[in-house]
């Protein structure tokens, strides 16, 4: 079965995610219309600017459509700003966007001294360290009881999973390492095999 993954193409690193997904054999397409969601086994919400992405999602009807997508058991992967879009709570009073993942996130958490950097990270479920690029990255301040912490950097949570929701603070698409994308595609394959996924 070919797994079809969409990358929400309202703003952010869309082409880079598509390249990473195609590199591991997934069928990847930019998503610009709500109607496309029905053809997908999984959805990536890329980095960019979370407030802008949230406004565009509201403008084009994606908020409720993606909530239904999640309710149908289809996996969603949020990276950097996409992590903020998934969160139930955003520190500082910003209204949540999708409000799907039981976590509190902090925008631009690494501060000006460390706005952009690269490092190797251990991620639960991946058998070797992966390369991660942090760009004015948010972090996960706290998680609810149903959320599994997948990776920590200097004591801060930078990747987590809640059921079929996956989120990370960094940009896996800006490296040649597709291990985290492969992890997400495996989530989509598992969901499709269980009866969730594209009709």
Tokens encoding 128:
């070797």
168 is catalytic: no
- Which residue in the list 4, 80, 97, 181 is annotated as catalytic? 80
Asked if 57 and 31 touch (Cβ cutoff 8 Å), the reply is no
Domains and CATH numbers, the chain: 4-193 (3.40.50.880)
Q: Are the C-beta atoms of 191 and 42 separated by less than 8 Å?
A: yes
pTM here is 0.94
User: Is 80 a known active-site residue?
Assistant: yes
CA distance 156 to 121: 12
- φ and ψ at residue 130, rounded to 5 degrees: -115, 155
User: Tokens 């000006």, residue?
Assistant: 112
List the one residue out of 180, 109, 112 whose CA is nearest residue 151: 180
Question: Exposed, middle or buried: residue 61 (CB in 10 Å: 0-12, 13-18, 19+)?
Answer: exposed
Q: Mapped to the 3 state alphabet, what secondary structure does 81-106 carry?
A: HHHHHHEEEECCCCCCCCCCEEEEEE
**CA 172 to each of CA 15, 90, 135, 199: distance values in angstroms, whole numbers, following the listed order:** 13, 22, 11, 29
pLDDT at 196: 58
**Catalytic site includes residue 148:** no
Q: Specify the pLDDT at position 199.
A: 46
pLDDT on residue 198: 55
Return all residues near 100 (Cβ < 8 A) that are at least 6 apart. Answer: 67, 70, 76, 86, 88, 165
Q: Which of 4, 41, 97, 171 is catalytic?
A: 171
Per-residue tens of pLDDT for the chain, all 199 residues: 789 999 999 988 899 999 999 999 999 999 999 999 999 999 999 988 888 899 999 999 999 999 999 999 999 999 999 999 999 999 987 889 999 999 999 987 665 545 688 999 999 999 999 999 998 889 999 999 999 999 999 999 999 999 999 999 999 999 999 999 999 999 999 999 987 555 4
Given 4, 17, 173, 181, the catalytic residue? 173
Per DSSP, the three-state class of 53 is helix
């Amino acid at each position: 079965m070919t797994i079809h993954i969409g990358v929400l193409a309202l703003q952010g690193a869309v082409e880079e995610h598509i390249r990473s997904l195609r590199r591991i054999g997934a069928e990847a397409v930019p998503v610009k219309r709500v109607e496309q969601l029905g053809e997908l086994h999984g959805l990536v919400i890329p980095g960019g600017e979370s407030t802008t992405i949230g406004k565009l999602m509201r403008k084009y009807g994606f908020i409720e459509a993606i909530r239904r997508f999640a309710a149908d058991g289809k996996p969603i992967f949020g990276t950097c700003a996409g992590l903020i879009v998934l969160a139930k709570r955003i520190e500082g009073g910003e209204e949540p966007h999708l409000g799907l993942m039981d976590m509190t996130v902090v925008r631009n958490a690494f501060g000006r001294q460390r706005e952009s950097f690269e490092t190797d990270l251990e991620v639960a479920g991946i058998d070797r360290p992966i390369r991660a690029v942090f760009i004015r990255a948010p972090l996960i301040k706290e998680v609810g009881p149903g959320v599994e912490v997948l990776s920590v950097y200097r004591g801060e949570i930078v990747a987590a999973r809640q059921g079929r929701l996956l989120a990370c603070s960094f940009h896996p698409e800006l490296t040649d390492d597709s291990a985290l994308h492969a992890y997400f595609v495996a989530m989509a394959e598992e969901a499709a095999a269980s009866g969730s996924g594209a009709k």
